[in-house]
Amino acid sequence: MSKELTLTVISPDKILYQGKAESVILPGSVGYFGILPGHATLVSQLDFGLIKLHTAGKEFRIAIDGGFCEVRNDQIRVLTEGGDSEDDLTHDHAIELLQEAESLPISKEKENLLKKAKVRILLHER
């Protein structure tokens, strides 16, 4: 059995991450769940949230806007509607996104933009 996972996170715009991980935590539609090497085959819907991956004793985080994941043979594939890594935007920019979303009239779009902004803010908090 392998001691590593291969994680690929893809949005319509770009590949957000492609590489190895010792463990991965994903934002499932009913809560966060973890994947370790040897995990059973799985397909799951994902919600707005953070993907947390651990490799070489470090944690790397990616904000995603929902989507789906497939786990099979120690490979995790995530397809998301959008996302950012910690290096993609600053905390200040995330605050600006929140302020812009809060200024919109009540709608489903506002709700989704608020979720997106809040996840981007969490991306920079430890």
The amino acid that residue 116 corresponds to is K
Query: How is residue 103 annotated by DSSP?
Result: T
pLDDT, tens only, 15-38: 999 999 999 999 999 999 999 999
Q: d(Cα 106, Cα 91) in Å, to the nearest integer?
A: 25
Rounded Cα distance between 108 and 60, Å, is 30
8 Å CB contact between 41 and 72: yes
Output the pTM of the full model. 0.91
Per cent of the chain over pLDDT 70 is: 98
pLDDT digits (tens, 9 = 90+) for 56-104: 889 999 999 999 999 999 999 999 999 998 888 888 999 999 999 999 9
Q: Which two tokens stand for residue 14?
A: 């770009």
pLDDT of residue 1: 53
Distances (CA, A) of 88 to 33, 36, 38, 72, 75: 24, 26, 31, 28, 24
Beta pairing class for 23-28 and 83-85: unpaired
